[in-house]
Structure 1
Amino acid sequence: MGPGTTCPWKGSLSRLQVRTWIEPVVASNQVAASLYDAGLLLVVKASFGANTFSNNSSSSAPRGALEEQQQKAISNFYIVYHLVVGLTPLLSAYLLGWLSDRFHRKISICVSLLGFLLSRVGLLLKVLLDWPVEMLYGAAAVSGLCGGFSAFWSGVMALGSLHSSEGRRSVRLILIDLILGLAGFCGSMASGHLFQQMVGHSGQGLVLTVCSVSCAAFALFYSLFVLKVPESAAKSNQALAEVDAMSGISGTYRTLDPDRLDKPSMVGHQPSPGKGVPKKTILALLFVGAIIYDLAVVGTVEVMPLFVLREPLKWNQVQVGYGMAAGYTIFITSFLGVLVFSRCFLDTTMIMIGMVSFGSGALLLAFVKETYMFYIARAVMLFALIPITTIRSTMSKLIKGSSYGKVFVILQLSLALTGVVTSTVYNEIYQLTMEKFVGTCFALSSFLSFLAIVPISIVAYKQAWWLKYGDITEK
């Protein structure tokens, strides 16, 4: 062949390589999810608003009392809705992960995407046919029985791992998380404008829900007919897939994982084996810190949509979309924080930085009176994703590779059940305190976030002792 001759298979090989990228599925599904989340809130608000004001049109009840009834109705809806969303995936997520490991890697992704599509169609039917909002519980149950976000994200993490070398795996997975955050940001920014495209009770939200269904359908069809599983999958990746079988079960903010197993947190000598700090004690303290911090974060996330709809903020549809978009920016800032802080701080120090960041922002939220104050509080939370991420990374350095699945599944199940309980408790607290002090839930979250620093600080002390005197024992 001459020097100008090109390989006839180069183009097809390049196209095949592109078809192994999971990013298009992640981006399109997250745009659909962000549109759906905003649409769900606005549709439920409109439905309960119409019912509340029509039922009390002949009475002399003040407008403030009617708005309070609307807030309680929305809160009660979300209590049941989040229970359905949080509990139903527990029945199927692990099974789908097992099937993906044994038969085909795309099973968990495709089945969960089918559930997402059906739930988006459910919201579309609610808008078109003006069905009762209770039918959305059924749509959420269908999505959960198909694996929900738990099964979907475990499949995404497994494919991302198969498509990357061990040295580049952490960068690969973090970039997938960035795609998730950026797609959610774009969808949330557009959601309020799309919701207003059609006016009238029967048409409002139609354009938004159609766009959500379209993006979800694209993600499903792309995963079925375009996406290819990398053929060069080593047997060692099966263990990682088992670890990921239950990952992502408790929320989008827990998915950032730097996977820093192949590099130390701090430059220093490696202690020789010997008696030292009990390993199980440190693992238990990390579990306690993760659960307490999860209580704070999930509680804030659950109450925030209700908070922005009433006084003193009283946002419209566009402002709701912008507020949701602001939440996705922490994917970027936390990613940058991990990259910078990991070069000069111990893992425990990074965890405490993230907890202080979130706790300070939650405290500011409790006293928000104007929209600009809300965004200042959100900006203070810029490192809120770091703690759970780095806790997983720290655990991975304390246990053997053969124990990753057992320990991480226990952690994720603990966080999932914690999230379900927290959603119910916080919504009840919000209903009881919204007239006296609407920021009560945020103040409670701030207290819990700072409280979570206590077990992490003990771990930091033991870690410093270990670096100075010796190894960590198996006890």
Structure 2
Amino acid sequence: MARVMLVRTWIHPVVAGAQIGCSFYDTGLLMVVKNYYSQSNSSVSTREEEQQKAISNFYIIYNLVLCLSPLPTAYILARLGDEKNRKITICMPLCGSLLSRIMLLLVILQDWPIEVIYGSAVFSGLTGGFTAYWAEIMALAALSSSENGRSLKLTIIELTYGMAGFIGSLASGHIFIKYKNSYRQGTILISSSIGLYAFCLFYSLLVLKIPMVEETSHKTEEPNTNEGEAIEDGGYKALETERLEEQMESNATCNSAENHSSMTPSMEIIALLFISAVLYNLAVVSALDVLPLFLLKNPLNWGPVDIGYGNAAGYFIYITSFMGVYIFSKYVRDTTMVMIGIISFSVGMFILAFVRWSFLYYVARAVMLFSYIPLPTIRSMLSKEPHGSSCGKVFVVLQLTLEITGVILSTICNKIYQVTMDWFSGFCFILACIISCLSLIPISIVHHKESVRQGYNTICPR
């Protein structure tokens, strides 16, 4: 019975099911949008250029709506999750995602205009969207783990997310084209996505048990009463009491000095971690938001199956990043792991900018094998700073910051891509490489400050 109860606390089935469904949806949406705008352009000479601009403009509006619409509700849901029940912050976004997938299915079956998807994105965002959902997943994983194992625990969640995306992406292209002679393209794929989201919602509501999280508190050291009762000699007892008082006074002095040196830069460290996370996320967004357009146009000119394989290669990085965290966490600090991930991403982006053949795309992806280490590791570091009961709110503030800054840069990069795609379509990847390198600066400062703080702490006797 105890084992069954433990299994019911696992959030992994929700993460895996939702991400496979999301992979199906992403591939289906991209191909549906491509087919929609390809039918609108009849001139062969201008078809590719006009199609690229139309798809780019669609995703600019779609991403803006999807990322900005959670702003009124995400923090409220996170607060309800922290204070009431964490299922609220998981189930509400799943409901919104489920209904948005149903809307895409209706667009396919009823020949509705593609702009209907903007409305489904608004509804998905107002129910919390990915912002509230993923922040709560991370908060739940962080609070149910020890500080020493927190980076690994969060990376295991990311690994589950990545493996599910890998499997879903591999299958999505084949499912999209499999029944093209009998059904409208994408019907089976989107229906499968709907089924997976329905399963996740059912599991979260009826099966999932939220584990009890005990808040850590600093308790005043008390003398061992059993030892005190065993001491019968008055002189020895007085001596022991005097020694204990001196030890407590020494500890209090050391703790006071340590608190003065460590609590003061705590907010500074949080701010630096936020800056590093935001800059790195901007680099990722600026590249990945234009990547599908880059793959659809010449010289690569990928179809549904190739798009699925390309997405799978991106999700495979979650697996290599997990292996990296598992190995590196035994030998280096969290800040060092973050820097390794940033460098891996930067070099991969530089190679991706000059890709002209499909095999080079996979070479660039292989170089980025540790690029998903930084954000979960930064979340792990942040979760150790605030009080446990505020973890959900801190994570959702971080996620909202990432979403807002990301969608702004996404819009800018899509416009830059439209201008530069004829003379150098990889320009946005060079821009991503530069921004990624800038994110090394704040995390390096955190690394230095932690080294100084840990060096000071070793002076105090324990």
If the TM-score is normalised by the length of the shorter chain, which range does it land in? 0.7 to 0.9
What's 2:67 paired with?
A: 86
Task: Quote the Cα distance in structure 2 between the aligned partners of 1:236 and 1:17.
Answer: 20
1:415 Cα offset (Å) = 1.7
Q: How far does residue 142 in structure 1 lie from its aligned partner after superposition?
A: 1.1
Cα distance between partner residues in 2 of 1:421 and 1:223: 33
Q: Which residue in 2 is equivalent to 1:23?
A: 12
Residue 66 of structure 1 deviates from its aligned partner by 1.6
Q: Per the alignment, do residues 408 and 109 of structure 1 end up closer, same or farther by CA in structure 2, a change over 3 Å counting?
A: closer
Tell me the CA shift for residue 317 of structure 1: 0.6
Question: Bigger radius of gyration, 1 or 2?
Answer: 2
Partner of residue 211, structure 1 = 192
* Partner residue in 2 for 1:319: 306
Alignment correspondent of 2:84: 103
**Residue 223 of structure 1: aligned partner:** 204
How far 1:372 sits from its partner (Å)?
0.5
Partner secondary structure for residue 331 of structure 2? coil
CA contact (8 A) 2:131 2:400 kept: no
Give the Cα–Cα distance (whole angstroms) in 1 for the partners of residues 71 and 361 of structure 2: 34
Give a deviation string over 1:408-444, Cα, whole Å, max 9, x none: 5543332221111011011010001000100000011
Cα distance change on mapping 1:397 and 1:328 into 2, 3 Å: same
Q: Counting helix residues as a fraction of each chain, which structure ranks higher? A: 2
Tell me the alpha carbon deviations over residues 251-285 of structure 1, each in whole angstroms, 9 at most, x when there is no partner: xxxxxxxxxxxxxxxxxxx9973876961544443
Cα shift at 1:36? 0.2
Q: Work out whether residues 303 and 427 of structure 1, in 8 Å CA contact, stay in contact via their aligned partners in 2.
A: yes
Contact 1:128 1:202 in 2 (8 A): no
After TM superposition, the structure 1 = structure 2 runs for residues 144-163 of structure 1, keeping only pairs within 5 Å, are: 144-157=125-138, 159-160=140-141
The residue type paired with residue 186 of structure 2 is: G
Structure 1 residues 170 and 438 mapped into 2: Cα distance closer, same or farther (>3 Å)?
closer
CA distance in 1, matches of 2:269, 2:86: 34
TM-score, normalization by structure 1 = 0.80
User: How far apart, in 2, do the equivalents of 1:271 and 1:378 lie?
Assistant: 49
Matched residue SS, 2:85: coil
Secondary structure of 1:89's aligned partner: coil
Q: Distance in 2 between matches of 1:414 and 1:154?
A: 12
Equivalent residue number for residue 435 of structure 2: 448
Aligned match of 1:435: 422
Letter paired with 1:453 = L
CA distance in 1, matches of 2:182, 2:118: 21
Aligned CA distance change for structure 1 residues 443 and 395 (closer, same or farther; 3 Å): same
Deviation at 1:289, TM superposition (A): 2.5
| Whole-Å separation in 1 of the counterparts to 2:188 and 2:149 | 40
* Mapped partners of 1:227, 1:456: distance in 2: 36
2:179 aligned with 1:179, yes or no?
A: no
Give the 3-state SS of the residue equivalent to 2:193 in structure 1: helix
Check the 8 A contact 2:177/2:304 in 1, yes or no.
yes
Residues 334, 123 of structure 1: CA spacing in aligned structure 2 closer, same or farther, 3 A cutoff? Answer: same
Query: Which residue of structure 2 aligns with residue 189 of structure 1?
Result: 170
Deviation at 1:16, TM superposition (A): 4.3
Aligned: 1:46 with 2:27: no
Out of 25, 32, 44, the position equivalent to 2:21 is: 32
Which deviates more from structure 2 when the two are superposed, residues 210-219 or residues 72-81? 210-219
Distance in 1 (alpha carbons) for counterparts of 2:444 and 2:158: 28
Structure-2 change in CA distance of 1:370 and 1:227 (3 Å): same
Q: Which residue of structure 2 lines up, in the alignment, with residue 286 of structure 1?
A: 273
| Residues 1:148 and 1:403: Cα distance change in structure 2 (over 3 Å) | closer
Aligned pair in 2 of structure 1 residues 383, 141: CA closer, same or farther (>3 Å)? same
Distance (whole Å) between structure 1 residues aligned to residue 270 and residue 138 of structure 2: 24
Q: How does 1:214-363 map to 2 (within 5 A)?
A: 214-230=195-211, 233-236=212-215, 273=258, 279=265, 280-363=267-350
Question: Which letter maps to 2:258?
Answer: P
Q: Distance in 1 between matches of 2:85 and 2:455?
A: 47
Given that 1:20 and 1:163 are in contact with CA atoms closer than 8 Å, whether structure 2 keeps it comes out as no
In 2, the alpha carbon distance for the partners of 1:318 and 1:101 equals 42
- Give SS of 1:91's match: coil
Alignment partner for residue 77 of structure 1, among 44, 55, 58?
58
Q: CA deviation at 1:42?
A: 0.6
Q: AA paired with 1:82?
A: N
Q: Tell me if structure 2 keeps the 8 A contact 1:75–1:427.
A: yes
Inter-CA distance 35–70: structure 2 relative to 1 (3 Å threshold):
same
Whole-Å separation in 2 of the counterparts to 1:73 and 1:222: 39
Give the % identical residues: 51
Contact 2:152/2:325 (8 A) holds in 1: no
2:90 touches 2:136 (CA, 8 Å); kept in 1? yes
Counterpart of 1:411, as a letter, is: L
Give the aligned partner of residue 248 of structure 1.
Answer: none
**Distance in 2 (alpha carbons) for counterparts of 1:402 and 1:213:** 34
- The code of the aligned residue for 2:13 comes to P
* SS state at 2:41 partner: helix
1:300-326: per-residue Cα shift (whole Å, max 9, x none)? 110111110001111011000011111
Is the CA contact (8 Å cut-off) linking 1:197 and 1:205 kept in structure 2? no
Q: 1:309 to 1:350 in 2, by over 3 A?
A: same
Distance 1:165 1:390 in 2: 14
Give CA-to-partner distance per residue, 1:90-139, whole Å, 9 cap, x none: 22122222333343332222221111110110111111111111000111
Deviation at 1:465, TM superposition (A): 4.2
8 A contact 1:124–1:210 mirrored in 2: yes
Counterpart secondary structure, 2:205: helix
Residue number among 364, 367, 370 corresponding to 2:357 in the alignment: 370
CA contact (8 A) 1:271 1:470 kept: no
User: Take 2:271 and 2:105, find their aligned partners in 1: how far apart are those partners?
Assistant: 45
Q: Is the 8 A contact 1:326 1:375 kept in 2?
A: yes
Cα separation, 2, equivalents of 1:166 and 1:100: 21
Structure 1 spans left out of the alignment, 5+ residues:
1-9, 57-61, 238-269
Task: Say which structure, 1 or 2, has more relative contact order (CA 8 Å, 6+ apart).
Answer: 2
2:229 paired residue number: none
Equivalent in the alignment of 1:387? 374
Q: Kindly report the root-mean-square deviation, in angstroms, between the aligned alpha carbons of the 2 structures.
A: 2.9
Q: In 2, distance between residues paired with 1:102 and 1:398?
A: 19
